[in-house]
Amino acid sequence: MTGFQELMKASLTERRFSKDDWLFERKLDGMRALATRDGGRPELWSRNGNRLDERFPELVDALEALGGPRFAADGEIVAFDGRMTSFARLQARIHLTGAARIAATGVEVYYYLFDLLSFEGEDLKREPLRDRKRLLRAAFDYRDPLRYSVHRNTDGEAFFAQACERGWEGLIAKRADSRYRAGRSKDWLKFKCVRDQEFVVGGFTDPQGSRAGFGALLVGYHDGRGALRYAGKVGTGYDERTLRALRNRMDALAQDEKPFADPVREKHAHWIRPEPVVQVGFSEWTPDGMLRHPRYRGERIDKPARDVVRETSR
């Protein structure tokens, strides 16, 4: 019940509904994290099993001060841009360690807890979600940067409309009596106000004019057979620091062979080992499987490239 364990994940759906036996939470634009403690110092884990303690020391301090000696809790690390959670703003923190470097960013982070997997040595994963949420509310003394993720009962459609009006990412709908099960589940569903998902970077184009770094990222996703399918190029959403940092990382991954299974009709494309994962927002998929109006939103350090597939509704 302590240490890293695989997290429960929501499935995408285009169906909005209101039901008495479901509850609805705000979908936060951040990075998923598991917090565990077994009598000693709390530990923070990314969804792919990497330790995050040194990157977010203030969250570890808060968990130590505001929680009990033994727990495992699921939540989301976020940064804010005004009143909105912003994955782009969180980017300034995800690669940094050391108090001085972290402080120099000026980016404050918060940890929203929304589920409790164990407490005081008792495994809670078989308990209904509504009971786990009640226990979670009482398990911590919530003060910034530690926050409780509130939910609304029943009224999913009206809450979703309100979420989109406010510019939120969307909602997570959860079956109120569901157990906590590792992996993708239909007991948790994503109601998205915006389209976005992770993609694997397999190459880039040269910069044009005075632009630094590169022109566009060439991105794709894995199909059911493990082949990397090409999804298009992402040429907007970067600042100069990001352009240079990504180019440096991609130069270290350079290879001669095209990693995509499909043709890529870009002149002077450069190929890399398909390891970096980025978050991309877009308006829709075209009939031939390309992204329309894609925009870079940030780099993901919490998902391995091999797990990136095209997200489809269920």
Cβ neighbours around 241 below 10 Å, total = 12
Return the closest-CA partner of residue 72 out of 143, 122, 16: 122
Return the closest-CA partner of residue 31 out of 126, 97, 95, 122: 95
Return the closest-CA partner of residue 226 out of 253, 260, 197, 255: 260
Residue 27 annotated among the catalytic residues of the structure: yes
Kindly list the distances between the CA atom of residue 203 and the CA atoms of 78, 136, 281, in Å, as whole numbers in the listed order.
Answer: 29, 44, 18
Amino acid at 305: A
- How many Å apart are CA 238 and CA 215, to the nearest integer? 10
- How many Å apart are CA 253 and CA 210, to the nearest integer? 24
Catalytic member of 9, 19, 27, 233: 27
Query: Which DSSP helix (H) or strand (E) runs through 71?
Result: strand 70-81
- How many Å apart are CA 53 and CA 139, to the nearest integer? 21
Contact 286, 294 (CB under 8 A): no
Q: Which tokens go with 118?
A: 């164990």
Q: Which residues are catalytic?
A: 27
